[in-house]
Structure 1
Amino acid sequence: MNRFNQNNTAVFDVDAQYTFTQECPDELPVEGGTEIVKALNEQAMFAAIRVGSKDAHSPRAVWVANEEKPMFSPVEGDDVDIAWNLHAVPGTKGFELIEGLPKPVEYDFFVWKGIELDLHPYGACYHDLADKMSTGVIEYLKHNNIENVIVGGLATDYCVKTTALQLNRAGFRVIVNLEACRGITQETVNSAIVEMKKAGVEIVTETKALKQYELKA
């Protein structure tokens, strides 16, 4: 087994916000979304650096669903694809990280994404869908000699998957901890797992499995 050291390992909390939980039923609720906090905090103990991200969207965004443009319908634009319910608006409960997680300023690095009206990225490493405009997190991790990234958050089949694949393409060893994630449907989660594994992302089903890597300082 290819083991690694805590000193060159980071954890990434992807969009662990109330907007993706049943606390915000009119946004994009994911079943069990609030249950990931314990696993996210536990996996952070295996790493030297903790980074995180949030969706941050305007009510005026071009992709906001309405009666004429229901959710999942196509939306024209270079950096949008489909309509979504309005979610993660700054100043609302949905925008906030789930209770029990650090505040954004307590992370080592933090990303806010989707602020522009015509941008709706899924991954936290780039602002655009073409993966050209970096959010800076890849550069930050490389500057700090990080080689391995353990990923969790919401939702497994969208933002977690895309972030994991972006990190993988950037040359990091990536491990997705499913105990620290929740997905929208089992079918799309299974598909995401297959896609991630095919790309070389490693998958563990529970946090205690991380001990097998002997992440020691």
Structure 2
Amino acid sequence: MHALIIVDIQQDFCEGGTLAVNDGAQTAALITEYMNQCGQKFDVIATTRDWHIDPGPHFSDEPDFENTWPVHCVAGTPGAELHENLDTEFIDAEFLKGQYNDGYSGFDGILGEPDLIRNQDGMAGPYGATAAAAAATDSSSITMDEWLREHDVERVTIVGIATDHCVRATAMDASDAGYEVRVITNLTAGVSDKNIDDATDEMEDCGVMLSEWPGAKTFIG
């Protein structure tokens, strides 16, 4: 079985968000086009979200944009929502990560409850997370690895944001867990060119396959 994992295509990581990367919105649109054209090759499709409640030193008033960051993707706020260019009709499961830590890897996430994600009543944590959003994984303890294995997945293809952080961490954890892993690099967007180059080298060294989707050029053109 083959899974597509879409990493963190969220409002705060796209143009207008608090931690936007270049071409984030375009990457979201490209992934939707990729699913329209190629989605049938995947047995399941999952997405991840940063879902921060109180992630400690991950947030900083003076971020270095490598280990510390501005406040972003607070659970239950508009910035944590999936970007409107991403068609959620294709998605079978969402994994929420980083509630109380950095949460770079999708393999740190827990299967979320959509009804609770969309409930905005009450507050939790110091950054304005909603109480219901903070409880969005309370009814589940299912990790991404457990969910993939329940679906007999052996191969994963990874796309999303950011190439040099959460995509990298998710791909390397997938490889360490024994999956055959591919990252489609032109369906990702990153923070810095140098870090992207370092991340792709690191992923390749771990056995992750890197490729490009030829259809992206046609869609952009």
TM-score range, shorter chain: 0.7 to 0.9
In 2, are the aligned partners of 1:12 and 1:51 still within 8 Å (CA)?
yes
TM-score of the aligned structures, taking structure 1 as reference length: 0.75
In 1, are the aligned partners of 2:163 and 2:196 still within 8 Å (CA)?
yes
Between 1 and 2, higher relative CO (CA 8 Å, sep ≥ 6) is seen in 1
Q: Distance in 2 between matches of 1:110 and 1:207?
A: 27
Q: Distance in 2 between matches of 1:121 and 1:135?
A: 16
- The residue that corresponds to 1:198 in the other structure is 205
Q: Distance in 2 between matches of 1:207 and 1:45?
A: 17
Deviation at 1:208, TM superposition (A): 4.5
Q: From the two aligned structures, give the one with the greater helix fraction.
A: 2
Identity rate of aligned residues, in percent?
Answer: 27
TM-score of the aligned structures, taking structure 2 as reference length: 0.74
- The residue that corresponds to 1:115 in the other structure is 99
- The residue that corresponds to 1:22 in the other structure is 15
Aligned residues: 181
Deviation at 1:180, TM superposition (A): 1.3
The AA in structure 2 aligned to 1:124 is: G
The AA in structure 2 aligned to 1:32 is: D
Deviations 1:108-137 (A, max 9, x none): 221111112xx112101025xxxxxx8611
- The residue that corresponds to 1:12 in the other structure is 5
Asked if residue 94 in structure 1 is aligned to residue 44 in structure 2, the reply is: no
- The residue that corresponds to 1:176 in the other structure is 183
- Give ranges in structure 2 of 5+ residues lacking alignment: 110-140, 217-221
The AA in structure 2 aligned to 1:57 is: H
The runs of at least 4 consecutive aligned structure 1 residues that moved more than 4 Å come to none
Q: What pairs up with 1:129-144 in 2 under 5 angstroms? A: 136-144=143-151
Q: What pairs up with 1:46-85 in 2 under 5 angstroms? A: 46-58=41-53, 60-63=54-57, 64-66=59-61, 70-72=62-64, 82-85=67-70
Deviation at 1:40, TM superposition (A): 2.0
In 1, are the aligned partners of 2:10 and 2:82 still within 8 Å (CA)?
yes
In 2, are the aligned partners of 1:40 and 1:180 still within 8 Å (CA)?
yes
- The residue that corresponds to 2:27 in the other structure is 36
Look up the SS of the partner of 2:181 in the other structure. Answer: strand
In 1, are the aligned partners of 2:25 and 2:85 still within 8 Å (CA)?
no
In 2, are the aligned partners of 1:17 and 1:94 still within 8 Å (CA)?
yes
| Residue 40 of structure 2, aligned match among 42, 45, 50 | 45
In 1, are the aligned partners of 2:45 and 2:90 still within 8 Å (CA)?
no
The AA in structure 2 aligned to 1:180 is: L
Change (3 A) 1:61 1:200: closer
